[in-house]
Amino acid sequence: MKSEDIVISVVVPMYNEAANLPASLDRIESALKLTGVPYEIVPVDDGSTDDTRLRLDAMAARDEAIRPVGYPDNSGRGRAIRTGLGQARGKYILTCDADLSYDEAYLPAMYRLLISPAAPDMVIGSPYMPGGRAENVPAIRLLVSRLANLFLARVMPGKIRTVTGILRGYRAAAVKALDLEADGKEIHLEILSKAVAAGFRLVEFPAVLTGRQKGRSKFRFKATALSHLLFSVFEKPSLLFGLVGMLLMAVGLAMGGYIIILWRQGVLNPNRPLMTLMVIVLLAGMQILLFGFLGSLMVSLRREIFRVQRRQGEIIQKIEKLNAADLPVDDKPAPREKESVFD
């Protein structure tokens, strides 16, 4: 199959998913056949230590639609998705989990949304919007996920309810225009942040999340929580700096009120360092608030840079299409003769 004929690419990050092979890829392929367009499946082996890669290679030998890629060291979901996006050849790229925690029927549904008259640049499956739900997911993990998405949804731009999910579809030209860097699960936040900043159109649809049936979960609470917290600070620095700054200002003002009370009662001891401490706390609070303000300005500037990069990318793509057009020699404009400055 020629690469230019492929319409859909499905990227599936994998780490020690031998228990879900070949069933998961067979289900994905059955769903893609319903679209009636050429497709490929790009499983990305994220340095598995079991026989995941051996099984993928065996499947690829029997089915040309399966193109496994990967690398020897486990590096995280972010690198796996970035690798898959870079290798995908389709006009539309879909991503899902190897254990199909979201049913494979959502894959053709996402493709139909991407080619609909609304023509969004990105579609996102959400169990946390009206119509979506979670089934057979461990209670603690579900609670952590809900709380994280509630918090991150307020930090991230746009009105997306599920910002950490992998069930997504992209216009290839749009997602490949983003300069992605994350190696961990914060890749989902990074994509959303940069897509919104670049002005791409996002559409969320309800989906059902189900618990893993086979294999071990790769969820790590501490690592995931820390990466998401750091990203939220990077995305909205005024949140952290603002809270800390306001807290210090409140403490400083409270100390000032206490000093006034002591002065009114005539028991204020000028030798105590209370006044100096109050001034230090107030100044520290003001400086931290200023850091938050400057950080917000930098985020706004970064988003404007993304918009400019998107426009540049679109112009470059148009130029490349014009240069690649196979025009007859007679139809090409003749070069202009150099004019003399004396004419």
pLDDT tens string 102-138: 999 999 999 999 999 888 999 999 999 999 999 988 8
Q: Which residues are 72's β-sheet partners?
A: none
Q: What digits encode the pLDDT tens for the residues 247-260? A: 998 998 999 898 88
pLDDT at 203: 94
Pair (279, 241) in one structural domain? yes
CATH assignment at residue 198: 3.90.550.10
Is residue 220 situated within a structural domain? yes
Helix, coil or strand: residue 3 = helix
Which residue matches tokens 């100044």? 283
Residue 189 pLDDT grade (very low, low, confident, very high; cuts 50, 70, 90): confident
Q: How many domains does the chain have?
A: 2
Pair (253, 312) in one structural domain? yes
Structure token pair of residue 319: 């130029």
Residue 265 pLDDT grade (very low, low, confident, very high; cuts 50, 70, 90): confident
Q: Is the pLDDT of residue 294 over 90?
A: no
pLDDT at 14: 96
Pair (12, 24) in one structural domain? yes
Q: 87, 69 in Cβ contact below 8 A?
A: yes
Is residue 331 situated within a structural domain? no
Pair (121, 174) in one structural domain? yes
Q: Is the pLDDT of residue 339 over 60?
A: no
The candidate with the shortest Cα–Cα distance to 238, out of 279, 195, 295, 154, is 295
Q: Is the pLDDT of residue 160 over 70?
A: yes
Q: Which residues are 44's β-sheet partners?
A: 13, 69
Pair (209, 252) in one structural domain? no
pLDDT at 19: 92
What's the Cα-to-Cα distance from 265 to each of 254, 255, 261, 276, 312, rounded to whole Å? 17, 15, 6, 20, 68
Pair (151, 189) in one structural domain? yes
Q: What digits encode the pLDDT tens for the residues 201-258? A: 999 999 999 987 665 665 565 656 666 666 666 667 777 778 888 899 899 899 989 8
* Chosen domain end from 205, 233, 261: 233
Pair (95, 242) in one structural domain? no
pLDDT, averaged across the chain? 84
Domain range holding 205? 3-233
Pair (202, 299) in one structural domain? no
Pair (144, 162) in one structural domain? yes
